[in-house]
Structure 1
Amino acid sequence: MRILIVEDNPDILANLYGFLEPKGYTVDSARNGYGGLALASENKYDVIILDVMLPGLNGLELCHKLRSELRTPTPVLMLTARDSLPDKVAGFESGADDYLIKPYSLVELDVRLRALVRRAGGQHVIGRGLRFGGLTFDPELQDAARDGVKIVLTKTGYVLLRCLMAAAPRIVPREVLEEAVWGENRPESDALRTHIHALRQAIDKPFPFAMVHTVPGVGYRLALPDAPG
């Protein structure tokens, strides 16, 4: 999935990059409305994340231009701290497809983005499944296999597998995995370690080499025997 983020807050932008890129998404960004308009006119995106309060050209004006001038059908998800009904109506009337109020859960953001892409006819982005080495996973069917041998996981195991495979062979920080599983209600105990152990038992134990690797103090990654690190 290729995503354009138009957001002027550097902290929010950094959080979005840190959450979305490990999932395997390609992310471009602009810090103002005119920059966002330029990128949208030059490139093809699967979805656009658009802040309402932007310098120069605000989000409502930018969305209107995307629809009326560029004639782009790309789904637009608006982010805003304004939660009144008139504000929501204004967002939809400008051409937005969905509306998320700050502060928001990054997990919910991801779910909404994928739903927008599917409704826009982009099911292939998710439906084609994930592959890394001999490991395959269809997130929609929750169908996993290694070297053709079916792997059965818990609900949490499938979430972790999707995150690791989407980023493979890059490292996925612990915080990203915890956010994907528990959202903002992360457990105080080291529950993630327990779920990773169960994932290893299913994916690695019956096979000749381990694919799930711990990066001490950072997170976890999938790797093949000839991969560096």
Structure 2
Amino acid sequence: MTKHFILMVEDHYELASTLCEFLEEHNFVVDHARNLDVARQLLKQHPYHILLLDINLPDGTGYDLCEWLRNEQGLDLPVLMLTARDTLDDKLKGFRAGTDDYLVKPFDFNELVYRVRALIKRSLGEVSNSQIKIHDLTLDPALQQITRAGQMIDLPPIQFKLLKLLMRNSPKVLTKQEIMLELWGDEEPESDALRSHIYNLRKMVDKPFEQKLIHTVSGVGLKIAVE
């Protein structure tokens, strides 16, 4: 089962410790930050699947971090705010700052797990089975079919998953670490496995066609887009 990575920003140590333990029992990997400064450093260094965010923090508010994440970093990472603030104004302020969901303390830990999983599935495009189309390339998740310029393309499972990941995130550049995390979770792949899959994906999706769609961004990662 693929593990998903969580950053929890919570200054209440006992609550954070209990939540981390509970989430790890449900197959999540959790990093914990007690303030905004540490949270920003971790978000710059690691790809996470979701951010669990308290509002009242020693060096600012969760609103500040959420706005920094959306406006300065341009990240669409799912954000779930966990807070004792339960007024409508507080919730609206959170949504304006860019949060995706809101859970008021005290909450049931099982409800938290369900909400986390729902947000991650939505962000990874696992909820929708609608077709994805970029230029003349179409991927149908429901039928597990790929066509380009009307020609069927048959890919093995890992390359199909890689192509779907790139297309769902287009035109965003995905880092090697982000791609490996989605393809293999915390299981270490064979040496040069990703390089080999990218090479074969290009050979099937790009080589027979004039317009190249798969692009390497030097020092950053990989994307699929029309350039």
Aligned residues of 1:77 and 1:99 also touching (Cα < 8 A): no
Q: What's the counterpart of residue 49 of structure 1?
A: 80
**Please, which of 92, 114, 119 is the counterpart of residue 113 of structure 1?**
119
- What root-mean-square deviation, in Å, do the aligned CA atoms of Structure 1 and Structure 2 show? 4.6
Length-normalised TM-score, structure 2: 0.55
Q: What's the counterpart of residue 32 of structure 1?
A: 55
- CA distance in structure 1 between the partners assigned to 2:87 and 2:161 by the alignment: 34
Cα 1:15–1:139 shift into 2, 3 Å:
farther
Length-normalised TM-score, structure 1: 0.55
**Please, which of 40, 46, 49 is the counterpart of residue 10 of structure 1?**
40
How many pairs align? 174
Q: Does residue 91 in structure 1 map to residue 107 in structure 2?
A: yes
Instruction: Give SS of 1:169's match.
Output: coil
Shift of residue 180, structure 1, vs aligned partner? 0.9
- CA distance in structure 2 between the partners assigned to 1:138 and 1:132 by the alignment: 12
Q: Which runs of 5+ in 2 are unaligned?
A: 1-6, 10-35, 67-75
Q: Does residue 150 in structure 1 map to residue 152 in structure 2?
A: yes
Alignment of 1:144-223 (within 5 A): 144-187=146-189, 189-223=191-225
- CA distance in structure 2 between the partners assigned to 1:33 and 1:216 by the alignment: 39
- CA distance in structure 1 between the partners assigned to 2:54 and 2:210 by the alignment: 48
Instruction: Give SS of 2:203's match.
Output: helix
Q: What's the counterpart of residue 104 of structure 1?
A: none
Instruction: Give SS of 1:98's match.
Output: helix
Shift of residue 125, structure 1, vs aligned partner? 6.4
- CA distance in structure 2 between the partners assigned to 1:49 and 1:150 by the alignment: 40
- CA distance in structure 2 between the partners assigned to 1:126 and 1:15 by the alignment: 30
- Structure 1 residue runs of 4 or more that deviate by more than 4 Å after TM superposition: 27-31, 33-39, 69-72, 74-78
Q: What's the counterpart of residue 129 of structure 1?
A: 131
**Amino acid corresponding to residue 147 of structure 1 in structure 2:** A
Q: Which runs of 5+ in 1 are unaligned?
A: 21-26, 40-44, 51-58, 79-89, 101-108
Cα 1:77–1:174 shift into 2, 3 Å:
farther
Shift of residue 220, structure 1, vs aligned partner? 1.6
